[in-house]
């Protein structure tokens, strides 16, 4: 029996169709309406509610209707944003960047026309470029704000819309950084106040910037490194079908490194991401082509960016193969390297990242802080931030250049470290062993549960709160920290283990971040790694039972 169709829902869909400025979107929605009642479930989902403008901006499936990324939604979002900027008294141009996903260029161009229609200058980056270039441009051009059209490492059917604030509205620590509350709520309210997409005045297409802005980023990125350091390193690299290849290659050349070997199948931007199930270096199999290239070329180091190049993944030789470093391992290596270089300021990470950097900073007498999850918080930890990282492959090695995660300067910095170690006959693995010998082997893992029903995340968090574990790995739980109502985060600690549980902020996932610390004893590093792997596997099982997943 066909589902019943809500008459009011049909009326709302017809009204949306009449307001949609995109002929393709109108045709798509008309096909859904014409397919009723068989398409009732699809229509209901498209109108289940508008995409919410949060601290990560907008992100959703490319499809017509309010619960999707499309030209009508972007028009309203841009109008709300420029209206909010005006209400705050923000002065200066709006700078706009975009990646190579489906719809990105059109969404960026519409944002520019909305801005100029409201009387604000709009500056577009000169083509599809990495997110760090947009974050850099906000500061370099003294813009009131920036918009980056990207869904980062989401699946190919998604797109998104991120907002950065300039110095006049973001403050010193937030200049060129992603928005935080209450700005998100203010922009959301302004978007809701937009009567219709058709009512939004459109102006000229704005100004397309020339290559000088990109050249400025490349020069500045290369200058992050020690000028006369070693550069003898063989690197394999992939942009993972994204927009990072040319900018990354230019940055490595400017810094004096030999050209990286690039995975040919993934070198050019392709919004279909044909060689990977998910275009995220953390996903199983996503780096397989890179590791094969690294093996063929005898590389010292393998580096991957995600599609908008704000994240950086690294793999190192291990026995007869290659081992991807966990985000926490690379975070510790970069922090240790910058501390050894004498880079002053505060070092920061998040409550879900490894505790190793905190112990490192305490031992070296370096200021340290932990923040809530997300780079919007990390970069605001202090005005004099020296370094920030999150376990999800995000690293900020040059806050004065890009006040956000930047996969290109992170790649340069880890290459600098690897090249310096190579002159000593040592590797990144050796440096990790040094840290483990001094502070204990900090091993991390993640239990990630993707859901179809978002309500299941709330039910699982409720089960963990109602029946928290008394022990983990046979040791008493000595601390339970619940950040409700401000944040949906739950932490359990024992003397040698920690678990942090939270919903993902950008994907339909529940995440549990696991950490165990094993001393390096007479059995050496290999034995400590084996003990840690066994402990993490057991911890995953225990937490899965606690969550009921």
Catalytic residues: 152
Contact 221, 401 (CB under 8 A): yes
Using the structure block, give the residue that is written with the tokens 């225990």. Answer: 542
Distance CA 53, CA 37 (A): 31
Least Cα distance to 332 among 489, 242, 257, 440 occurs for 440
Tokens standing for residue 229:
């350091």
Distance CA 56, CA 510 (A): 17
Least Cα distance to 143 among 82, 80, 78 occurs for 82
Using the structure block, give the residue that is written with the tokens 């300039």. Answer: 166
Distance CA 203, CA 199 (A): 13
Distance CA 310, CA 10 (A): 41
Sheet (strand 497-503) strand order: 441-450, 509-518, 497-503, 490-493, 479-482
Residue by residue, DSSP assigns 309-348 as S--EEEEEEETTEEEEPPHHHHHHHHHHHHHHTT--SEEE
Read off the DSSP letter of residue 4: P
Least Cα distance to 546 among 486, 466, 485, 478 occurs for 466
Strands 58-61 and 158-165, sheet pairing: antiparallel
Looking at 90-130, list the stretches that DSSP marks H as alpha helix, in order from N- to C-terminal side. 104-117
Give rounded-to-5 percent helix, strand, coil for the chain.
40, 20, 40
Phi-psi group of 460: left, alpha or beta (phi > 0 → left; psi -120 to 50 → alpha; rest → beta):
alpha
If DSSP codes are grouped into helix, strand and coil, which group holds residue 434? helix
Residue by residue, DSSP assigns 36-53 as TTTTHHHHHHHTS-PPP-
Least Cα distance to 80 among 172, 187, 217, 170 occurs for 187
In the chain, the largest separation of any two C-alpha atoms, in whole Å, equals 74
Distance CA 314, CA 332 (A): 13
Which residues are CB-contacts of 151 (< 8 A; sequence separation ≥ 6)? 59, 99, 101, 158, 159, 160
Beta partners for 308? none
Contact 387, 400 (CB under 8 A): no
């Amino acid at each position: 029996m066909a589902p019943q169709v809500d008459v009011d829902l049909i009326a709302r869909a017809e009204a949306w169709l009449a307001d949609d400025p995109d002929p393709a979107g109108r045709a798509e929605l008309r096909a859904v309406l014409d397919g009723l009642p068989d398409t009732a479930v699809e229509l209901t989902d498209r109108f289940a509610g508008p995409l919410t403008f949060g601290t990560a901006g907008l992100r959703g499936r490319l499809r017509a209707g309010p619960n999707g990324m499309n030209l009508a939604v972007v028009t309203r979002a841009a109008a709300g944003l420029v209206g909010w900027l005006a209400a705050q008294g923000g002065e200066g141009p709006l700078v706009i960047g975009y990646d190579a996903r489906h719809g990105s260029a059109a969404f960026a161009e519409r944002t520019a026309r909305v801005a100029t229609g409201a009387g604000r200058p709009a500056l577009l980056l000169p083509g599809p470029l990495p997110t760090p270039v947009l974050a850099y441009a906000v500061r370099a051009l003294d813009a009131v704000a920036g918009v980056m059209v990207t869904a980062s490492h989401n699946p190919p059917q998604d797109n998104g819309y991120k907002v950065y604030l300039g110095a006049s509205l973001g403050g010193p620590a937030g200049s060129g950084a992603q928005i935080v509350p209450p700005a998100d709520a203010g922009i959301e309210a302004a978007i809701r106040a937009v009567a219709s997409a058709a009512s939004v005045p459109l102006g000229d297409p704005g100004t397309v910037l020339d290559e000088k802005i990109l050249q400025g980023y490349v020069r500045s990125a290369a200058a992050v490194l020690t000028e006369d350091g070693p550069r003898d390193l063989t690197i394999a690299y992939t942009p993972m079908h994204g927009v990072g290849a040319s900018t990354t290659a230019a940055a490595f050349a400017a810094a004096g490194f030999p050209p990286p070997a690039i995975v040919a199948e993934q070198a050019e931007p392709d919004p279909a991401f044909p060689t990977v199930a998910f275009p995220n270096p953390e996903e199983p199999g996503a780096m397989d082509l890179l590791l094969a290239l690294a093996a063929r070329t005898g590389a010292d180091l393998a580096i991957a960016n995600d599609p908008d190049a704000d994240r950086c993944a690294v793999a190192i030789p291990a026995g007869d193969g290659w081992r991807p470093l966990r985000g926490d391992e690379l975070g510790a290596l970069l922090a240790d390297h910058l501390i050894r270089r004498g880079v002053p300021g505060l070092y920061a990470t998040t409550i879900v990242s490894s505790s190793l950097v905190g112990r490192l900073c305490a031992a070296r007498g370096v200021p340290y802080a932990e923040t809530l999850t997300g780079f919007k918080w990390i970069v605001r930890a202090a005005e004099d931030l020296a370094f920030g990282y999150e376990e999800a492959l995000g690293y900020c090695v040059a806050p004065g250049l890009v006040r956000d995660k930047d996969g290109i300067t992170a790649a340069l910095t880890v290459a600098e470290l690897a090249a310096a170690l190579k002159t000593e006959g040592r590797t990144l693995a050796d440096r990790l062993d040094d840290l483990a010998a001094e502070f204990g082997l900090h091993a991390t893992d993640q239990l990630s549960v993707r859901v179809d029903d978002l309500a299941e995340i709330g039910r699982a968090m409720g089960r963990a709160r109602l029946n928290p574990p008394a022990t983990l790995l046979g040791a008493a739980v000595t601390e339970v920290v619940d950040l409700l109502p401000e944040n949906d985060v739950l932490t359990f600690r024992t003397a040698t283990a920690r678990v942090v549980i939270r919903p993902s902020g950008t994907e339909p996932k529940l995440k549990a971040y696991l950490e165990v610390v094993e001393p390096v004893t007479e059995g050496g590093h290999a034995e400590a790694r084996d003990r840690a792997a066994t402990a993490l596997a057991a911890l995953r099982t225990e937490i899965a039972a606690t969550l009921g997943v």
